[in-house]
Structure 1
Amino acid sequence: MSFKSLLLSVPTFVAMAGTAFAGGISVEDAYARASGKNAKAGAAFMVIVNDTDQDDRLIGVAAEISSRVELHTHRESGDGVMQMIHVEEGFEIPAGESHALARGGDHVMFMGLNRSLEHGDTVPVTLIFEQAGEVQIDILVDLERKPDHGVMKHKTHSDG
């Protein structure tokens, strides 16, 4: 294989490496970020796809990057102020559909970071599902991504 061919194949390999599969669940476009170099908290975002015929639920997350990892979302407090809250019941991933964990919505929250999240690093994370069990992924730290980057309508199987 020539050097040029090798270089041209790298983006394909990286794109494939960005997707994790287990038990009919796949994780796409996962990335993490923190608000600053000395931040004590960070967040991860991704699209979770359930390619099975059975509903599943993301019920937990584990990672050594922080003292605590929780599933969070943003909700309006009633007075127009958005609050971030822990979602103890997790996130439903309906059969044949996807669920986006995105900025300003549902996400994984790293609290008590034990090191900074440096651009280009990877963070090993274990997602825990009711049906699929544990899915281990490496999440790329992307501190340059814009809030709406990668946000798109994800079709469900029933959308056609």
Structure 2
Amino acid sequence: MRNIIRSTLLLATLFGFSGVLFAGAAEQVTVADAYVRAVPPGQTNSASFMTLTNTSSNDIVLKGVESPAAKAVELHTHTMSDGMMRMRQVEKIDLPAGQNVKLQPGGLHVMMIGLQQSLVPGEQIDLSLVFEDGSKMALKVPVVKLQMKMQDAAMKQKMN
């Protein structure tokens, strides 16, 4: 039993000195400007957006997202197909070493399907990012109302 304890302490000491090399992906990613869109009553789906920064020197893979606020939470993107913008699920989002990846409207995003609660502006929801190595990052994400300015700008751009 003592040998097991000594071995465990030795390994912990070795890993402790090399923490950066053995840290989980969740410890190597920072999140900025995260929010989830508020939706009108009766709307069953919403989306979340954020900027993810991989602060490590190794590529990291985001494999999924979890939240008690929705029945299903998926990684999605938009693609142009036959002149139509289409949304589709993706298995993963690559986070290249030392780079930012923006999850934004019209691009990569987190899709929340089958909302389990109202998304009230000013409140927060729980969201967990799940990485390929199994590590997770728990977030409190604010709910924001979609600004009409963004919609107006998109409409003006379509008309020109």
Provide the identity percentage: 37
Provide closer, same or farther for how the CA distance between residues 69 and 86 of structure 1 changes in structure 2, counting only shifts above 3 A: same
User: Are 1:86 and 2:95 counterparts?
Assistant: no
2:141 paired residue number: 139
Rg bigger for which structure?
2
User: Are 1:61 and 2:76 counterparts?
Assistant: no
Alignment partner of 1:111 out of 110, 113, 129? 113
CA distance in 2, matches of 1:147, 1:62: 27
Post-superposition shift, 1:132?
7.4
User: Are 1:73 and 2:73 counterparts?
Assistant: no
CA distance in 1, matches of 2:54, 2:134: 9
- After TM superposition, the score normalised by the length of structure 2 is 0.74
- Structure 2 gaps, min length 5: 1-24, 152-160
Post-superposition shift, 1:37?
2.4
User: Would you say the 8 A contact 2:60–2:94 is kept in 1?
Assistant: yes
1:97 paired residue number: 99
SS at match of 1:36: coil
1:83 partner amino acid: R
CA distance in 1, matches of 2:150, 2:107: 11
2:95 partner amino acid: I
SS at match of 2:111: strand
Provide closer, same or farther for how the CA distance between residues 147 and 127 of structure 1 changes in structure 2, counting only shifts above 3 A: farther
1:27 paired residue number: 31
1:85 partner amino acid: R
CA distance in 2, matches of 1:99, 1:132: 20
SS at match of 1:128: strand
The structure with the largest helix share of the pair is: 2
1:12 paired residue number: none
1:13 paired residue number: none
- Structure 1 gaps, min length 5: 1-20, 149-160
User: Would you say the 8 A contact 1:46–1:101 is kept in 2?
Assistant: yes
SS at match of 2:83: coil
Provide closer, same or farther for how the CA distance between residues 129 and 138 of structure 1 changes in structure 2, counting only shifts above 3 A: same
1:126 partner amino acid: S
Provide closer, same or farther for how the CA distance between residues 111 and 143 of structure 1 changes in structure 2, counting only shifts above 3 A: same
